[in-house]
């Protein structure tokens, strides 16, 4: 059993049962963003989380066990994403990456924003000109050390 096969089983069951990512996240007991990332093969579920997911979706014991193994992270099949939505994030970093870096370094010093000690919230923001996607990301600042 590998993560790609586990992910396919999860998506197939999700569609068959007509479930949403927030409904699945509620059953697992974590945020919709983290659970979705886990279901798509990017996070490690605890045994109780994997069991809750397996019970909800009717997953095999092999899939449930696979979800508890730390994954190989990084889900994009190419260096430059070809999916239009994902490409816009690539474009966002290409255009604003140096701005993020300059502002973070000025505010916090020399370091990085963690993608490990991290949380995200994605919501719909109503707008008369067309609804907007609002993404709030929060990562712990990790300074570079001198040794």
pLDDT digits (tens, 9 = 90+) for 22-43: 999 999 999 999 999 999 999 9
Mean pLDDT of the chain: 95
Q: Which of 105, 75, 70 is nearest to 89 (CA)?
A: 75
Task: Output the DSSP codes for 95-121.
Answer: HHHHHHHHHHHHHH-SEEEEEEEEEEE
Tell me, yes or no, if 33 is annotated catalytic.
no
Report the predicted TM-score, pTM, of the whole model to 2 decimal places: 0.86
Catalytic residue among 88, 94, 132, 138: 88
Look at residue 77 and tell me whether its pLDDT is greater than 80: no
Q: What is the CB neighbour count within 10 angstroms for residue 71?
A: 19
Calculate what percentage of the chain has a pLDDT beyond 90: 91
Give the max Cα distance, the chain. 55
User: Is 114 a residue of the active site?
Assistant: yes
**Active-site annotation holder among 62, 94, 114, 138:** 114
* pLDDT at residue 76 in the model: 79
- Verify whether residue 88 is a known catalytic residue: yes
**Pick the catalytic residue: 8, 62, 91, 138?**
91
For residue 75, the model assigns a pLDDT of 78
pLDDT of residue 74: 85
pLDDT of residue 88 exceeding 80: yes
């Amino acid at each position: 059993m590998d993560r790609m096969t586990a992910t396919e089983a999860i998506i197939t069951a999700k569609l068959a049962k007509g479930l949403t990512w927030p409904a699945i996240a509620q059953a697992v007991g974590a945020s919709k963003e983290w659970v979705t990332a886990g279901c798509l093969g990017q996070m490690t579920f605890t045994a109780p989380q994997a069991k809750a997911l397996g019970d909800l979706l009717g997953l095999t014991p092999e899939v449930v066990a696979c979800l508890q193994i730390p994954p190989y992270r990084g889900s994009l099949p190419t260096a430059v994403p070809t999916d239009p939505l994902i490409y816009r994030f690539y474009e966002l970093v290409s255009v604003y990456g140096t701005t993020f870096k300059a502002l973070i370094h000025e505010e916090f010093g020399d370091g990085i924003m963690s993608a490990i000690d991290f949380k995200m919230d994605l919501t719909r923001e109503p707008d008369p000109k067309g609804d907007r996607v609002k993404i709030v990301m929060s990562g712990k600042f990790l300074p570079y050390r001198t040794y």
